[in-house]
Structure 1
Amino acid sequence: MTVTRRQFLVLGAGTGAAAAGLTGCGSRSSLGAADQLSMWTWVGSVNDSLISEAEKTIPGTSKQLSMTRIGGDYKTKVLTALAGKSLVPDIMAINDDVATYFPNADQFHDLNELGADKLKGDFLDWKWKLGITPQGKMMAYPMDTGPTALFYRHDIFAKAGVPTEPADVQAAAPDWDGFIQLGKKVKQAVPGSSITDNITSVFDYAIAQLTKRYMTPDGQYIGDGDHIRQAWDLSVRVVKEGLSANAQSGSTDANAVVTNGKLVAFVGAVWWAQLGPKNAAPKTKGQWRVCATPGGAGNRGGSFLAITKYCKDPAAAFAFISWLESSRNQAEAFKDPVLFPSTPASYTDPRLTEPDPFFGGQRIVDVFAESAKKYPGAYFSPYDTIIRDPLAAELVNVEVGGKSSDQAWKDGQKQVERELTRAGAI
């Protein structure tokens, strides 16, 4: 689905409570008492058992953890705190939009100065680089990732008389064109079948495979380039072929197309296993499989931890985040709340390699581990969101409103130019 994993997990969280220890003996700039390290995160971003252990005493330090799960618009609350430079937590989680915070890099510690550089080899190289600003400051420490795969209904593929085993499906759909052809065969045999929920899902996951996105590290806008237009045209093609369920994000149909079996295949990130079929179609247990993504490995999602310059004890804070994100503990976080590790050593941990009954006993970690290791990486700019959103809105106009693709592309680019000019990016 087009909703992000964080948006799904934060549902029901309610509004964030005030952090414990606001009236403690810490300074006005930093939350919490002197013997505490305060941390902000959102629901579903960390493993509760590990946090419970750290709340008693953070391993390797004399500090205790005071963690607040922020509900609602997490990013707005963080940026507001940073703007006010008061009551800022010692540690904060940051979502995959980490580049959005790069303009505030002066309010964070350079983690390499705290010893992060010695641990670089434990992590996926592309993930490590995402937390480093264009100026070379390591602002954010890797948490989870969002490697992609092709999810599909084994039983419906069998009914349609097309390949059903992961290796065979992968061979039949090595690229997006092959995936479309496969989808057409399934739909012909099983009318009503779709291979995506909506047009923007195809666009987002096609972008998630690219080695370049909307801007260059030196600030040049390239979101009007051929690589983005190709992802756009692919998205429109899937709709024109009648293979989209036209279930827009946030609509009542978003889960229904999974529940009623209309969505028979979907290119999605690892977290979609929980968000999609396990949540919306539990009765389909045993009927799903995964294989490599058509067109190559991609990544969508994944979080970071940062230490603010207001931190009372940066060394203790780094001891905590490096402990929390060790390969052993990332394997624990995969069990609950299903965060896919950024540490390759975790991929052979028995907690990850157990067969998944929901996927017919398949070891799905093998597919996602390969995707995570093969993903080439790309530069994310602070402006990616304000670029992507107008383009996505125009794609919806194509699918829902029947707008011509060329006109929608032109209008989307005009809106992007206005937004980037307003933001001072161009």
Structure 2
Amino acid sequence: MHSQYRRTTRTTRRSARRLTSLGIAAALGAGLLSGCAGDGGSTAGNGKTEVTVGLFGTFGFKEAGLYDEYERLHPDVVIKENVTAQNADYYPALLNHLTAGAGLQDIQAVEVGNIKEVATLQADKFVDLSDAAGVKKENWLDWKWEQATTEDGKVIGLGTDTGPMAVCYRKDLFEKAGLPTDREKVSDLWADDWAKYVDAGETYAENAPSGTSFMDSAAGLYNGAVSSYAERYYDESGELVYQDSEAVETSWDLSMRAAEGKLSAKLQQFTPAWDQAYANGDFATVVCPAWMLGYIESKAGKKNADTWDVADAPRPGNWGGSFLAVPENAKNREEAVKLAAWLTAPEQQAKLFQKRGSFPSSQAAFALPEVEEATHAYYGDAPTGKIFTEAAKGVPVQILGPKDQIVAETLAEGIRQVEQQGKSPEEGWDSAVKSIDNALG
């Protein structure tokens, strides 16, 4: 393969397949983080069995009332949730606890970017949930079930949510730029090809409303495009192949085209500047998984209600999603398995989508009314249930590697160097490769 933005000579390296993680050394030195500081509980003071759940961020179980419902159904159980704000802090601490064999909660969440490493290197430390009561493989999307399955068929985590992608767009800005505003016609603009999404951006730029850009960030485009491929950073043999990956090359080149074509607002996602840009109406599109809808609404605010809509992504892809795992040495392992199975059952996943916007990984939940009939008033009553269901069904079974998250985040930083700092595409790529080499040893 050849590209004007890629080095002609590339090298590949086999994954060391050993326990490493960004920040792990610091975590080991700092000791146990507060989110996972205590051992799993055994018995609460009132005689009830206390099941502890270790999470990062907001999963929504508590907020959607699922813990309360479970405790009503099981009066002898009380649930205690321990949350670390960021997975960047949570995951190194989890690895630390697994190594030490202490400090683990009865249930531990695992983010999709880390699930392969856990399934490859830590599988013996988790319960096989494939035959747990109430767990049926056919309830889950095939690709979601596969992500937490080891080579010998052990399932070390039950999928919670997924992040099937769409493109959220500003109808008012599209109209001013002479583009269609109907969601089906917008979807047709870039159907089946992320390059057509960039084409639409170039058309937008010709008549862009003053002070606006077509997309929020070139890194966001890269993430959407690369997520629509089965093979990205590793091949089926476990080889680290990102430097020779069609997915990476194509997606990188598209992001460079957007950055150099000034189609992007040059923003870094999940920063105050990005948040403010929603409120200001500074960009017309953003690649948005289901869980981002609520985020956009909260940042764009009431004044922008019904200016946003939701169109299909050019190709199905997934961004985000997690799993619930039960450590082998959990103090209340039996009760933890029951709770994990219940929280990830189709009915609970549908409720979580209805109340919190977390899209189910359970395909059995798709036919439930909370999902199938779902619309979103903020986005012009867009049929979000149907849009994201179709996207989820089309997501490829991705080949995951133990260091996917590091590679993805480092490539995104290379894109930002081009987009925000004015580096050339070659400089951004070389910088990312050097950083990945340093991180993976």
TM-score range, shorter chain: 0.7 to 0.9
Which of 135, 142, 146 is residue 125 of structure 1 equivalent to?
Answer: 142
Shift of the 43–159 alpha-carbon distance from structure 1 to 2, 3 Å rule, reads same
RMSD of aligned Cα (Å): 2.5
Bigger Cα displacement from structure 2, 35-44 vs 369-378: 35-44
Aligned residues: 398
Which of 50, 56, 59 is residue 42 of structure 1 equivalent to?
Answer: 56
Structure 2: which amino acid aligns with 1:170? Answer: S
Distance 1:19 1:411 in 2: 37
Distance 2:242 2:47 in 1: 46
Please list every run of 5 or more consecutive structure 1 residues that lacks an aligned counterpart in the other structure.
Answer: 1-14, 27-31
Q: Deviations over 1:134-183 (max 9, x none)?
A: 34321111110000001111122222222111111111221222222222
Within-5 A mapping of 1:145-294: 145-174=162-191, 175-189=193-207, 190-225=209-244, 226-249=246-269, 251-294=271-314
Please list every run of 5 or more consecutive structure 2 residues that lacks an aligned counterpart in the other structure.
Answer: 1-32
Within-5 A mapping of 1:23-422: 35-48=49-62, 49-55=65-71, 58=74, 63-72=77-86, 73-97=89-113, 98-102=115-119, 103-115=121-133, 119-174=136-191, 175-189=193-207, 190-225=209-244, 226-249=246-269, 251-294=271-314, 296-352=315-371, 353-420=373-440, 422=441
Distance 1:357 1:313 in 2: 42
What SS class does the counterpart of residue 379 from structure 1 fall into? coil
- The equivalent of 1:29 in structure 2 is none
Shift in Å, 1:405: 1.0
Shift of the 213–22 alpha-carbon distance from structure 1 to 2, 3 Å rule, reads closer
Distance 2:39 2:188 in 1: 56
Shift in Å, 1:106: 1.4
What SS class does the counterpart of residue 122 from structure 2 fall into? helix
Bigger Cα displacement from structure 2, 359-368 vs 119-128: 359-368
Q: Deviations over 1:29-71 (max 9, x none)?
A: xxx9883322212342132211123345648xx5433332233
Bigger Cα displacement from structure 2, 137-146 vs 211-220: 211-220
Shift in Å, 1:21: 7.9
Structure 2: which amino acid aligns with 1:263? Answer: F
Shift of the 417–134 alpha-carbon distance from structure 1 to 2, 3 Å rule, reads farther
Structure with the bigger percentage of strand: 2
Shift of the 220–21 alpha-carbon distance from structure 1 to 2, 3 Å rule, reads closer
TM-score when normalising by structure 1? 0.86
Shift of the 242–106 alpha-carbon distance from structure 1 to 2, 3 Å rule, reads same
Shift in Å, 1:242: 1.2
Q: Does the 8 Å contact 1:114/1:315 carry over to 2? A: no
Bigger Cα displacement from structure 2, 408-417 vs 329-338: 408-417
Shift of the 43–51 alpha-carbon distance from structure 1 to 2, 3 Å rule, reads farther
